[in-house]
Amino acid sequence: MNFPKDLKYNKEHLWVKVEGNAACIGITDYAQDQLGEILYVDLPKVGQEFAKGDLFSEVESAKVNSELRMPFSGVVVEVNEELDDSPERINEAPYDAWIAKFEIKNPDELNDLISAEEYEESLK
C-alpha cells in the first residue's frame, strides 16, 4: 500500500492535500482496496459549505456504499468531474483522483489530521 508523506490523513481513510487556504480530499489506497471496484461517486456542489463531520460525498462500490465525512470545515471550490464518467480512477490512482477541493474555513481543524506514518500505524 502507498501512503504519500506529503499528504495528511484521518482515521476514516481520507487523504487531504493542503495548498495554502485550500485542500483537496480523496480516499486512501487502503480505502479503495477495501471498497473494491468503485462504481459511482456522489460529488458535492460547488459553493456548498460543510462543517467538520458533515457528510459531503458517498462512494458506491461493488461491495458497499461508503459515506465520506468532512475532516475540516470548508466550502467546495471545485469538484473532480472526471469521476462522473470514470469513478474507477479512484481504484487506479487514489491519490490523483481527488473528489473535491475546499476552501478551508478553520485551519486549526487540520491539526486533527495525522501523518502518513500515523495513518499506516492505525491500520495495524
* Alpha carbon distance 54, 70 (integer Å): 5
Q: Strand pairing partners for 59?
A: 41, 66
Local confidence band at 1 (pLDDT 50, 70, 90 cut-offs) = confident
Local confidence band at 63 (pLDDT 50, 70, 90 cut-offs) = confident
Tell whether the model's pLDDT for residue 54 goes beyond 90.
Answer: yes
Residue 7 is predicted with a pLDDT of 97
104 touches 70 (CB < 8 A): no
Tell whether the model's pLDDT for residue 79 goes beyond 90.
Answer: yes
Global pTM? 0.94
* Alpha carbon distance 39, 62 (integer Å): 7
